[in-house]
Structure 1
Amino acid sequence: MGRVAIVTGASSGIGRATALELGRAGFDVVVGYGSNRAAAEEAAREIAEEAGVRTWPVQFPLAEPPAAAAALREAVATAGGVDVLVNNAGVNWRAPFLEEDHDAWSKVLAIDLTSPFFLAQAAAQAMVEQGRGGRIINVTSVHEQIPITGGSTYCAAKSALGMLTRTMALELAQHGITVASVAPGETATPMNGHDASVDPRTVARPVLPAGRPGSPEEVAGLIRYLADGSTGYITGQSFVIDGGLSLIAADANVRSVLGDLAAGAPGTRG
């Protein structure tokens, strides 16, 4: 029986690209989805046909964490085990701090933090029982580390998931289970308002050092690397993949003061 990977939010965007990459790497893949079963089934068929691996579309109701964990345990039983969990699914939410309400706060935390916690716990319990270790990869956000206006709830959830990653890594290392987080910046996905057919290299982002958004495939490539069996000495780390977004704060401040006399221009000092 082959290795098994479970990817949540795999019906589109980063999750779909990751599921395909892991299939290419030889994993049987549980293609997790929230509501778009048709897209998940299509992705599962594509992965099975291209990579020659087993696939299963499975719904994870992340707004209801106990039900999501139960779905994972059932998926593990169906697939015959789990070697990699990619906690990718989430909701991208913005609201002014002064106007945020309890329902939105609770929903975002349920989807972006509480369900990933219980999915990881269920996967780790299965990995410990199997006795062959495993990999857990939490997809957070660059906003795990830096704030954004309107992101009080979203940033809190992603920051907490980043700390959870480190705590899990500390506790699970004795079982041969590594845990890491992947923190993307703007990525050209439907969740971020990009049509799936858009080539991110054609989308200008002049402020970013990379000059463009990232692609789902670029993020998926990093996740595939972390899922590989040769990365067992990597654990508890957050890997930012943001085209340099997290580097620009000081330059933005200088430009706001000096205008055309940007940082590093003749006659200016950092």
Structure 2
Amino acid sequence: MRRLQGHTAIVTGAGSGIGQGIAKRFAAEGANIVINYIAPLEGAQSTLHMVEAAGSQGLIVKADVSKPNEIERLINQAWAGFGSVNILINNAGIGFEPAFLEAKEEDFYRVIDVNLKAPFFVTQAFARKLSAEKKPGRVVNISSIHEDIVLPGHTSYCASKGGLRMLMRNLAVELAALGITVNNIAPGAIDTPMSRPLLENKPRRDTLLTQLPLNRIGTTEDVAALALFLASDEASYVTGATYYIDGGLSAYYNE
């Protein structure tokens, strides 16, 4: 029996990187996948092929999850496509911004809207559906080790992830009565398109590896394995927690 057989998951930002890795792993474990993306379509189509190759069903929904009206469309299409959804992976995120002294208001809100506002309102829409159906569910946010660890030059990003940590803890308590668990995964150095410019810079990569006790860069498969546990029935008594997946970086970090 596959661990997510009979389950359906929404994965935001599922066209590449960690979101794509989670969609692929969940599909291999039997889940139907709602593949949210904003651009490009080719990435979402690639994820759909992976989902179908794993023997599961997928549905592509284009929606900017920083916009509440598009969130409603995402949720409605997910329910229309599969009848119900019981797993939400808030993965969509951005990480690049100007230096603090050069940042403008629109730069700040661009990061906050995607990384913090979107998980708030996607989770709200998801929880409202489950509450109406009187069904339990799982929410897993893809956060970052920088919800706790400073990263100079990325102040808005760190603030968004710190906010996501508190959002998760609050919602874990508020939604517990509905049978909805809420947890964060906080990746460190993971090989994704977002981190590739850093990882392809050999001096910076070599310096990073000296701070990784496990002496390797993480993979999307590593993150997907942890997300699978938190989304499964095995984690029914787990809520309100951040799980670090960073090769020991947060225990040995020097900026």
Normalising to structure 1: TM-score of the pair?
0.85
Identity %: 36
The answer (yes or no) to whether the contact 1:206–1:212 under 8 Å persists in 2 is no
Number of the residue aligned with 1:241:
245
Distance 1:118 1:212 in 2: 35
Distance 1:49 1:243 in 2: 30
Number of the residue aligned with 1:10:
14
What residue identity is the alignment partner of 1:14?
I
Q: Which moved more, 1:125-134 or 1:69-78?
A: 69-78
Q: Which runs of 5+ in 2 are unaligned?
A: none
Tell me, yes or no, if structure 1 residue 146 matches structure 2 residue 153. no
What residue identity is the alignment partner of 2:79?
V
Shift, 1:74, TM fit:
2.4
Tell me, yes or no, if structure 1 residue 74 matches structure 2 residue 77. yes
Shift, 1:126, TM fit:
1.2
Shift, 1:75, TM fit:
1.8
Number of the residue aligned with 1:160:
163
Q: Which runs of 5+ in 1 are unaligned?
A: 254-270
Shift, 1:195, TM fit:
11
Tell me, yes or no, if structure 1 residue 20 matches structure 2 residue 28. no
Tell me, yes or no, if structure 1 residue 125 matches structure 2 residue 128. yes
Of the three residues 171, 191, 195, the one matched with 2:194 is 191
Distance 2:66 2:73 in 1: 13
Number of the residue aligned with 1:176:
179
Q: Which moved more, 1:216-225 or 1:33-42?
A: 33-42
Of the three residues 92, 96, 99, the one matched with 1:96 is 99
Q: Which moved more, 1:222-231 or 1:70-79?
A: 70-79
The answer (yes or no) to whether the contact 2:172–2:183 under 8 Å persists in 1 is yes
What residue identity is the alignment partner of 2:126?
A
Distance 2:233 2:30 in 1: 12
**CA RMSD, 1 decimal:** 2.0
Of the three residues 106, 111, 121, the one matched with 1:108 is 111
Distance 1:170 1:19 in 2: 27
Tell me, yes or no, if structure 1 residue 43 matches structure 2 residue 47. yes
Distance 2:188 2:98 in 1: 19
Shift, 1:129, TM fit:
1.9
The answer (yes or no) to whether the contact 1:188–1:216 under 8 Å persists in 2 is yes
Secondary structure at 1:230 match in 2: helix
Q: Which moved more, 1:23-32 or 1:93-102?
A: 93-102
